[in-house]
Structure 1
Amino acid sequence: MFEDRPNRSAEVVFVGRSNVGKSTLMRELTGHSFSTGKKPGVTRKPNHFDWNAENFMFTDLPGFGFMSGVDESVREQIKTDVVRYVEANAEHVLAGVLVVDGKSVVDVIDRHSGPDEIPHDVELFHFLEELGIPAVVAVNKMDKVDDRDERLNALCERLGLYPPWKQWEPETIAPITAKRGSIEPLKEALRHHFHEANRDDLLKFVK
């Protein structure tokens, strides 16, 4: 289990597979550099970016799923730790941001769908909802997607949301390109959830 969580009463957690751009997104949101790597699985423990005065933090949780050169038991342990962390701190989490790669997420979900298998992304989305945490899907790398509406509609279907995807923006579906600093839809979603939680004092972090 991850240790050393700063004692903050409000938090936004970022979850997702390795190499979907979580660390780049965190850098865009906070202006603070986290170690990003070409190799999946660089982040093995949570990165907390916190503000003491507001009693608030963003938490970038380690990526899960396939990582070349990383033993399967380690991968499973990381996923278990991520799930336990979110569960243990659910009452403090104002939003859970599931970051996915817009270009590949539908294919990845389909590849891992089977009678005995729920794809990690789908599982995590529903897990957040079951815990009563507002779930936002940050669909990253949208600059590489040609059939934008089609792709986002297909993702909604896989997540059990009725298309068209447009009806789920901004609260749930946020198409972004973190590398280019194009993250306004995600900021809009977070502003919505902060407001809903009566935490307008946090809006300045997602201006």
Structure 2
Amino acid sequence: MFEDRPDREEVVLVGRSNVGKSTLMRELTGHSKFTTGQKPGVTRSPNHFDWVSENFMFTDLPGFGFMSGVEEEHREQIKTDLVRYIESNADDVLAAVLVVDGKSVIDIIDRHSGPDEIPHDVELFHFLWDLEVPTIVAVNKMDKVDDRDERLDDLCDRLGLHPPWKQWRETIAPISAKRGDIDALNEALRTQFHEQKRDDLLKFVS
């Protein structure tokens, strides 16, 4: 399911199931074809939205972690495929957007932290950094968070970034995709496009 990739540079969206990646994809592209649902795991294979003339695409990769009605073996395979996809195409990835649920991400990270366990979100963040893929953490559903700055500082701490979060605006982007509030992410993507001399793509994140 990961083989039919168009030959383009891309921005990839990654993250756990049910954090709002497909909703964010709709906001980024202005296109309503992306399936969203209440159940985790609606996206099972990469969704590409490409602009041939610019040799560019946004890609919504399948979510990892718990998925309703999906056996663990298949969930692990999706994660393996996801890692392989990013490794294979790292040279063409202009930026990776790691989408997390601002309301629950700290609890999830803490629940899965231990001597023998690294939380998926933290593992993926460092995996992307190790590949030298520019990584932006889109902290979604922030409209449901009261202690905004404290929550974002805690997330920086868990990811190994020194708080306060405001010094990481190119990396930490608080958003509410469902409400169409993705300005912080667009700003971070504009910075990445400009640094990589792809100002022709700025129109997609204006």
Say yes or no: TM over 0.5. Answer: yes
Unmatched segments (≥5 aa) in structure 2:
none
Partner of 1:179: 178
Partner of 1:71: 71
The answer as to 2:41 corresponding to 1:44 is no
* Amino acid paired to 1:158: R
> How many residues are paired up?
205
Partner of 1:123: 123
Q: Quote the Cα distance in structure 2 between the aligned partners of 1:162 and 1:16.
A: 22
Q: Quote the Cα distance in structure 1 between the aligned partners of 2:125 and 2:79.
A: 14
Unmatched segments (≥5 aa) in structure 1:
none
Q: Quote the Cα distance in structure 1 between the aligned partners of 2:104 and 2:39.
A: 17
Q: Quote the Cα distance in structure 2 between the aligned partners of 1:53 and 1:68.
A: 38
Deviation, 1:93, is 0.5
Partner of 1:3: 3
The answer as to 2:57 corresponding to 1:53 is no
* Amino acid paired to 1:49: F
The answer as to 2:171 corresponding to 1:152 is no
Partner of 1:17: 16
Deviation, 1:68, is 2.5
Q: TM-score, normalised by structure 1?
A: 0.98
Which consecutive segments of 4 or more residues in structure 1 shift more than 2 A? none
The answer as to 2:24 corresponding to 1:29 is no
Instruction: For residues 109-151 of structure 1, give each alpha carbon's deviation from its aligned partner in whole angstroms, at most 9, with x where no partner exists.
Output: 0000011111000001001100010110000000000000110
Q: Quote the Cα distance in structure 1 between the aligned partners of 2:160 and 2:189.
A: 21
Considering only aligned residues, what root-mean-square deviation do their CA atoms show, in Å? 0.7
